């Protein structure tokens, strides 16, 4: 599952499941993130801070 798909799923569901969080961490650890990937990660972080997404 791509980073965008993971973040999209979290946004649609309003929660970040442990499985999604692990997958996102794996993608980040692999490196080679594009500018868009970094923007998506920032969007996810902002949504968590603003309580739009909760950790399950």
Question: With helix as H, strand as E and coil as C, how does the chain read?
Answer: CCHHHHHHHHHHHCEECHHHHHHHHHHHHHCCCCHHHHHHHHHHHHHHHCCCCEEC
Instruction: Answer yes or no: is 56 within a domain.
Output: no
pLDDT for res 29: 96
Instruction: Answer yes or no: is 46 within a domain.
Output: yes
Look at the chain and report how many structural domains it folds into.
1
Collapsing DSSP to helix, strand or coil, 34 comes out as coil
9-54 pLDDT, tens per residue?
999 999 999 999 999 999 999 999 999 999 999 999 999 999 999 9
pLDDT for res 31: 92
CA Rg, the chain, in Å?
Answer: 10
Question: Residue 13 sits in which domain range?
Answer: 3-51
pTM: 0.88
């Amino acid at each position: 599952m791509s980073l965008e798909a993971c973040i999209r799923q979290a946004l649609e569901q309003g929660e970040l499941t442990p499985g999604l969080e692990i997958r996102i961490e794996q993608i980040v650890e692999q490196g080679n993130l594009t500018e868009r990937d970094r923007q998506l990660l920032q969007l996810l972080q902002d949504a968590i801070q603003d309580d739009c997404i909760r950790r399950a």
